[in-house]
Amino acid sequence: MPVLHNRISNKELKARMLAETQPRTTISFYKYFNILDPWAFRNNLYQQFTELAVFGRVYIAKEGINAQISVPTHNMEALKALLYSIDPALDNLRLNIALDDDGKSFWVLRMKVRDRVVADGIEDETFDPSKTGEYLKVEQVNQMLDDPDTLFVDMRNHYEYEVGHFEKAIEIPSDTFRDQLPMAVEMLQDNKDKNIVMYCTGGIRCEKASAYMLHNGFKKVYHVEGGIIEYARKAKEQGLPVRFIGKNFVFDERMGERISDDVIAHCHQCGAPCDSHTNCKNDGCHLLFIQCSECADKFEGCCSETCREEVRLPETEQRTRRAGRENGAKIFNKSRYRLQDGMSLTK
């Protein structure tokens, strides 16, 4: 089957997006449901999204769909009508609307077919992802945050937790969801008598995590409906206290939505209060890390003195140095990196 895809360069597409004057809305959604032919589903949806000028990232698998997209605001109703009509399982699909949004989150539509919409590493054929924990709405979330017999478990990566999380939430210190699932089961073994509340950015990870916890013998398992995005939006709409502190990391050009004014993270180079993620400007690195404005000026957007020196080299020499280099994990993790040499990152 021929695969429909974009044929224009990323540079030109980004320039077109930045030049747009029409307002855009950034939304995310997911749904676990059975897709018999993911490739046919993907190509049909790609064509219809293109007609609506949708940008973003969409993953499709036999188990369902996961999407983070932006759409011209005037096409929102048409997008809803399209999604609701595709499959009965998507009727009245919940759409998580971004809070801190300038409409510049994406500039191209990328739609991929995968084995799973969220890589989970689960090989147990008896696991049923549809048997999930109970949804919690905003008021219930706030009530359970005050319950001493309830544990809130953050099912996002460590770098997401670092810049923002629910009060007293437990971090599952890992870079990947597939590693977090068995780690969460192990860490919480002595708390099977407590209420376990799972949460994540938009709901897709914590929903599957809640099913996995039930599968592993936990009885009182819950998850935040719509994740942090929907919780914060509904709390503000309803005039309820927002109990999430800091920033919500998002996987687009924004790299974060401000939920509260608290800055709970620190610059990885100088230690100053800061929660702004960036990617190292060195094309041979692109490490994701937290950098304050002063260090951004000092290191010219790079993660270290070494990278700053490298980006100053002629492009041909930069390419020579990058050839055959193994970057490994491109995310700052305190267990793998240390600060030295005038507080610059070393790898």
Residues forming the active site: 200
* CA angle at 58 for the pair 89 and 173, rounded to the nearest 5°: 100
Residue-level length of the chain: 347
Amino acid at residue number 201 = T
End-to-end CA distance of the chain: give it in Å, rounded: 43
Q: What is the dihedral of CA 127, 168, 256, 24, to 10 degrees?
A: 70
Q: Are 34 and 62 in contact (CB under 8 A)?
A: yes
CA pair distance 54, 28, nearest whole angstrom: 12
CA distance 334 to 206: 24
Residue 244, SS3 per DSSP: strand
Residues 6+ apart with CB under 8 A from 133: 196, 198, 207, 210, 211, 213, 214, 221, 222, 223
